[in-house]
Amino acid sequence: MMNTHAEATADGFVIVGEDICEKVISRADAFDAVEAVFAAMARGDAYNFPVVREAIGHADALYGFKGGFDRTGLSLGLKAGGYWPGNMARGLTNHQSTVFLFDPDTGRLSALVGGNYLTALRTAASSSVSIAHLAREDSKVLGMVGAGHQSTFQLRAAVEQRDFEKVVAWNPHPEMLPRLGAVAEELGLAFEAVSPEDLGAQADVIITITSAFEPLIMADWIRPGTHIACMGTDTKGKQEVDPALFSRATVFADEVAQSISIGEAQHAVGQGVIAESDITPVGAVINGTHGGRGSDEEITLFDGTGVGLQDLAVAAVAARLAREQGLVTPVTF
């Protein structure tokens, strides 16, 4: 029989570094964890706490917390971290985060988990879950808008969901595309750098993962039947797609409240193109309370804003696997 959470962590908390995270958790593990937590959120069994994000007035940094509790998965805690623009010059990643997990039975710290690798993994799992549940089964061409750090994680996770044959890509900074092309080649997929209009004309599934503050993809460029996962917009003011696309699409989100405040839907809702009530949590599709895609002609749009519960879900898996594999030594204090 499985131990209770309290029994499993009675020997202290574990420290799971970035290198151990990379070793123990697979894309399939992350997919399952994120799918389960989206489902729990839609059932009302898991909720995200209000996000704190502050410009701290030092090192030009943005710092904050994303936390929550999942009663089903029993993950309680927070991800603390943010963005330090000067880090690159120090040989460090600009995004830095750490996940703190607590035993929900006792409130004791159960794990400290490096959050950098897991953030990329859980963000890719999010669009991947949306593709699994919303894209047409016969999708063959994947369109990638963006070629930064997250994009290769997105590509690797997405191509596991459908029988893709080709990747078409566009990035505002074209010199970044060859790195993405190399990953497509490694995965045995044809790769073509195209214009954004051509990307819309060819792609069955599109992922946007940029730091844009204005629309890069216009509504008219998107074909009927396309599934588009908008993943880059996670802050007020950011924007990747034309708000008019929302009126042509059936719209889903990881969390509706975050979608309309800091997600891609902030613009469409703000401009009255759609209402908050037009957005469905993707967890409802996972739970079968929403039918998902209605026809091969329908455009489905997923607004993946990135919620704290995703971080807790994958961090809990990484901590459990690290313990099971004897890669960490519990610490008491």
User: Alpha-carbon distance 66 to 34, whole Å?
Assistant: 15
Question: Any catalytic annotation for residue 79?
Answer: yes
Please identify which residue in 17, 148, 181, 215 interacts with ligand NAD, judged by CB under 6 A. Answer: 148
Near ligand NAD by CB under 6 A, which window of 5-13, 33-41, 146-154, 287-295?
146-154
Site membership for ligand NAD, residue 196 (CB under 6 A) = no
Residue type for 268, please?
A
Site membership for ligand NAD, residue 140 (CB under 6 A) = no
Near ligand NAD by CB under 6 A, which window of 25-33, 131-139, 206-214, 284-292?
206-214
Site membership for ligand NAD, residue 180 (CB under 6 A) = no
Q: Is 12 left (phi over 0), alpha (psi -120 to 50) or beta?
A: left
Nearest CB to ligand NAD, comparing residues 214 and 220: 214
Nearest CB to ligand NAD, comparing residues 14 and 46: 46
Nearest CB to ligand NAD, comparing residues 173 and 223: 173
Site membership for ligand NAD, residue 218 (CB under 6 A) = no
Near ligand NAD by CB under 6 A, which window of 45-53, 147-155, 188-196, 321-329?
147-155
Q: Phi and psi of 79, rounded to 5°? A: -105, 125
User: Alpha-carbon distance 134 to 252, whole Å?
Assistant: 9
Out of 79, 140, 236, 238, pick the active-site residue.
79
Near ligand NAD by CB under 6 A, which window of 51-59, 101-109, 221-229, 299-307?
299-307
User: Alpha-carbon distance 307 to 304, whole Å?
Assistant: 9
Cα dihedral 240, 242, 244, 250 sign:
negative
**Cα dihedral value 290, 142, 196, 194, nearest 10:** -170
Nearest CB to ligand NAD, comparing residues 14 and 229: 229
User: Alpha-carbon distance 188 to 167, whole Å?
Assistant: 10
Nearest CB to ligand NAD, comparing residues 148 and 181: 148
Say if residues 127 and 188 touch (Cβ distance below 8 Å): no
Site membership for ligand NAD, residue 150 (CB under 6 A) = yes
User: Alpha-carbon distance 219 to 168, whole Å?
Assistant: 18
Residue nearest to ligand NAD (CB): 148
Q: Which residues between 223 and 282 bind ligand NAD (CB under 6 A)?
A: 231-232, 234
Count of residues binding ligand NAD (CB under 6 A)? 23
Nearest CB to ligand NAD, comparing residues 126 and 139: 126
Task: Name the token pair of 149.
Answer: 């750090």
Q: Where are the beta strands (DSSP E) in the chain?
A: 14-16, 46-48, 52-55, 62-70, 75-83, 95-102, 109-114, 141-145, 166-170, 190-193, 205-208, 213-217, 227-230, 239-241, 249-253, 279-281, 299-303
Please identify which residue in 12, 85, 172, 237 interacts with ligand NAD, judged by CB under 6 A. Answer: 172
Given the DSSP bridges, would you call strands 109-114 and 141-145 parallel, antiparallel or unpaired?
unpaired
**Residues identified as active-site:** 79
Q: Which residues bind ligand NAD (CB under 6 A)?
A: 119, 123, 146-151, 171-173, 176, 209-213, 231-232, 234, 304-306
